[in-house]
Amino acid sequence: MVDHRGPHEGVKHLSRLNLLYLLKNDNLVLREIPLYSKRMIPIPKYHQSLLSWYGLYQRQLPWRSLPGQVPDPYHVWVSEIMLQQTTVQTVKEYYLNFLKKWPKIENLANAPLDDVFHMWQGLGYYRRARNLHKCAQMIHQEYKDTFPSEEKALLSLPGIGPYTAAAILSIAFNKPATVVDGNIERVMARLFQIETPLPKAKKEIQEKAASLTFQDSPGDYAQALMDLGSSICTPKSPACSMCPIHNFCQAFKKNPEDFPRRAPKKIKPTRYGTFFWIENDKGDVLIEKRPDKGLLAGMMGFPTSSWKEIQEQNSRPEVRLIDEESLEKGVRHTFTHFHLIGEVIIAKSRDTDGLWVSPKNLNNYALPTLMKKIRNAVQEVRQ
Ligand code: SF4
């Protein structure tokens, strides 16, 4: 559709057909761009506004490559896995420590799983750490330490779902892919005033997001939307007057906080369990590795009963207990699908089987947050 007529006529043609000059490999190329999306967002202007803003205000994050640098898929992948369910602020330190310990994917692949759990302590959702390790081993063995850059191959790897695959494709390989994280979901729901409540709206949001994906610079586009969602289009009190895309937003000057709509929350059930802080004569405490399947799989913890929705006389640890005493204050912890109320029993045992650890060395083991709460509850009464 390049105009071959005289320059004057060419200008007219440009405005009528909505052609855009793009700088590619130091050459100016002319490209025709669809003028309006189905919901009447003038796409080129939208991209231009958003990406200009991103050029000025993008966040400096440890996993982001600097201008002119080629992004490292390993960095993008580790950060995206850590950022699931976790805030950017929390992830920064974990990410830097992780990369310091395992600068290359082969280092991570060759690390013991327990070390990975240990580095992951406090980030929660430990299945991510397990899958991260498994995925590193697969890339090391099957792809010779080179991250695949095809969606199908990425989706076949442990822990990589459609979101993470899209993030890796767009950010690390600059391939067109539609990334929809929580921030982008919110921006799209507001841009298009999507009335369907989440989670049912996810498909619609994905389609709307796909209709706006910027083919020429998908990585910058995805990160621009992420940054917009985190700094301007925030869940509460979005700064609409500073928003570079407010001209395209249907919720602007209306009620943006009401989007995305959400289905009423289901009430989480409460489960009950008993945890045992068992000491031997030396003052060492008994810890054990949790089963390979289920919650906190493969992590270290204190012996515990099963966790059930009815309070009952729970199962007992295998060692024989003496001098049992129940802590007045137990522990509370919330998992994705339920709340847990735990009674903590302090007891002694003369049995020697199992792993007995000095309380001051407990930090050397990958204790999940729940188990740390139990340790803290015991230490509190001892002070
Ligand atoms: S105008 Fe307001 S609601 Fe719309 S995208 Fe911008 S910040 Fe979000």
- Catalogue all structural domains in the chain, each as residue range(s) with its CATH number: 1-32 (no CATH), 73-258 (1.10.340.30), 270-382 (3.90.79.10)
- Mutation to probe ligand 1, out of 240, 241, 250, 257 (largest number of atoms < 8 A from CB): 240
pLDDT at 237: 94
Spell out the alpha helix ranges (H) of the chain.
Answer: 7-17, 43-57, 73-83, 88-101, 105-109, 113-120, 127-142, 151-155, 162-167, 173, 182-191, 202-212, 218-231, 369-382
- Tokens representing residue 30 in the block: 């002319």
Reduced to 3 states, what is the DSSP secondary structure of residue 340? Answer: strand
311 pLDDT more than 50: yes
238-257 per-position pLDDT tens digit: 999 999 999 999 999 999 99
87 pLDDT more than 70: yes
Active site residue 106: no
Q: What is the mean pLDDT of residues 5-18?
A: 30
**Position 40 confidence tier, pLDDT thresholds 50, 70, 90:** low
pLDDT at 322: 83
Instruction: Find all residues with CB under 8 Å of 156, minimum gap 6, and list them.
Output: none
233 C-alpha to ligand 1 centroid (Å): 5
Residue 24, number of CB atoms within 10 A of its CB: 10
Reduced to 3 states, what is the DSSP secondary structure of residue 288? Answer: strand
C-alpha span between 85 and 113 (Å, rounded):
21
User: What is the Cα 40 distance to its own chain's centre?
Assistant: 32
211 pLDDT more than 90: yes
Question: Does ligand 1 have an atom closer than 6 angstroms to the CB of 240?
Answer: yes
**Position 12 confidence tier, pLDDT thresholds 50, 70, 90:** very low
8 pLDDT more than 50: no
Question: Does ligand 1 have an atom closer than 6 angstroms to the CB of 238?
Answer: yes
**Which has the higher per-residue pLDDT, 36 or 255?**
255
pLDDT at 39: 46
Q: What is the mean pLDDT of residues 220-229?
A: 95
pTM for the full predicted model = 0.72
Q: Identify the sign of the CA torsion 104, 114, 128, 378.
A: negative
374 forms beta bridges with none
Average per-residue pLDDT for the chain: 86
Q: Are 128 and 159 spatial neighbours (Cβ–Cβ below 8 Å)? A: yes
**Which has the higher per-residue pLDDT, 121 or 18?**
121
Q: What angle do CA 127, 309, 373 make, to 5 degrees?
A: 55
| Nearest atom (ligand 1) to Cα of 250 | 4
Q: Are 206 and 196 spatial neighbours (Cβ–Cβ below 8 Å)? A: no
As to burial, measured by CB atoms within 10 angstroms (0-12 exposed, 13-18 middle, 19+ buried), residue 382 is exposed
Q: Look up residue 171 and give its DSSP letter.
A: I
268-279 per-position pLDDT tens digit: 999 999 999 999
- Tokens representing residue 367 in the block: 């204790």
**Position 313 confidence tier, pLDDT thresholds 50, 70, 90:** low
317-329 per-position pLDDT tens digit: 777 888 888 888 8
Residue 314's φ and ψ, nearest 5 degrees, are -85, 165
Residue 202's φ and ψ, nearest 5 degrees, are -55, -40
38 pLDDT more than 50: no
The radius of gyration of the chain from alpha carbons, rounded to an integer in Å, stands at 26
- Mutation to probe ligand 1, out of 46, 57, 190, 248 (largest number of atoms < 8 A from CB): 190
As to burial, measured by CB atoms within 10 angstroms (0-12 exposed, 13-18 middle, 19+ buried), residue 145 is middle
245 C-alpha to ligand 1 centroid (Å): 7
278 forms beta bridges with 347
Question: Does ligand 1 have an atom closer than 6 angstroms to the CB of 41?
Answer: no
C-alpha span between 364 and 362 (Å, rounded):
5
Place of tokens 């407990």: 362
* 2-6, 85-89, 273-277, 351-355: least confidently modelled range: 2-6
pLDDT at 28: 44
Is the bond into 260 cis (omega within 30 degrees of 0)? yes
